[in-house]
Structure 1
């Protein structure tokens, strides 16, 4: 099962209110899109320093491999290893960037997918939150209240059908 870390944005002006809709769930594991489209994935996730490091590393490897007169197969293998490394460490790069931006790691959740991770986290998180003053949970009273029966006066309007449709079972 995948492991998710939950990160909360930094509080502005020391406000205790945390906006749960801004929480970020980062899945630990291999990121296929970071492997296939590394620089574009880094741009999409706004990992600027990681993108600069990736570009610098690719340029340095290209210069070193060119100076060593390596063949195209060796260059391909080295860049494939670099892409694999990026796919494996994409979650760590994302967590590192969130930590640099002063996001707090709140919890670690194990779940099948992001939706299940969110449910598990928010179930635990809401149980741990203090109850605000004046709030009382609803009381279960068992049954719904009784319904008042108001007798209707008997008339021909209540028993006969008005219009072109006769009563069922009557003669035509």
Structure 2
């Protein structure tokens, strides 16, 4: 399962008004960052990383050509650099966010980004709600919960009858 890191801008307080600015960064290999590095970096607005990538690529290609290395070896080095970019693309994105004064709020494991958002906001809302006893999250089909919180209208569940057996077992002494 993919791992996502959740980032929020530091300037905004982490409240319900700032949730639309939260960013989810998937950890792992990014195919399009490996195949089209320059386009991927520009698309994600990683400008400093884009400039560094262009300079690094040209410097390595120029240096290898000056050393008289063959085109096949230069292509292999470029292929290794492409794989490196694919594996480190998420780290570059997190680094750029941290330089832009964003903070990491949480780490979420989910199948896709939508599930990661759902999972994160469920936990985040529960933490920021400040309510220990949420009336809306109580299972309405089951017996009433047995909580002893002052001021809450909860009742004790009924006691089972004496001598009875709960489940799919026959009554003691009854016929089968």
Secondary structure of the residue aligned to 1:8 is: strand
Task: Determine the C-alpha separation between the residues in 2 that align with 1:59 and 1:100.
Answer: 25
Deviation at 1:17, TM superposition (A): 6.1
Q: Distance in 2 between matches of 1:69 and 1:139?
A: 72
Deviation at 1:10, TM superposition (A): 2.4
Please give the alpha-carbon distance, in whole angstroms, between the structure 1 residues aligned to 2:97 and 2:138: 42
Structure 1 runs of 4+ with >4 Å offset: 14-18, 136-142
| 8 Å contact from structure 2 (residues 8, 14) kept in 1 | no
Q: Which residue of 2 aligns with 1:71?
A: 70
SS in 1 for 2:80: helix
Counterpart position of 1:88: 87
Quick check: 1:33 aligned with 2:32? yes
In the alignment, the residues of structure 2 paired with residue 79 and residue 10 of structure 1 have an alpha-carbon distance, to the nearest angstrom, of 37
TM-score when scaled to structure 2?
0.71
Q: CA RMSD in A?
A: 2.4
Partner of 2:108: 109
For 2:56 and 2:108, the matched residues in 1 are separated by 33
Partner in structure 2 of residue 98 of structure 1 = 97
Give the Cα–Cα distance (whole angstroms) in 2 for the partners of residues 63 and 141 of structure 1.
70
Please give the alpha-carbon distance, in whole angstroms, between the structure 2 residues aligned to 1:91 and 1:127: 28
Q: CA-to-partner distance for each residue in 1:91-150, whole Å, 9 max, x for gaps? A: 000000000000010000001111110111001000000359xxx9799999xxxxxxxx
SS of 1:105 mapped into structure 2: strand
Query: RCO greater where, 1 or 2, for CA within 8 Å and sep 6 or more?
Result: 1
| Kept after mapping to 2: 8 A contact 1:11/1:18 | no
Instruction: Provide structure 1 residue ranges, at least 5 long, that are not aligned to the other structure.
Output: 143-172
Aligned partner of residue 69 in structure 2, secondary structure: coil
Structure exhibiting the larger radius of gyration computed from Cα positions: 1
Distance 1:52 1:141, change over 3 A: closer
Aligned residue pairs total: 138
Alignment of 1:1-172 (within 5 A): 1-12=1-12, 18-131=17-130
Counterpart in the other structure of 1:164: none
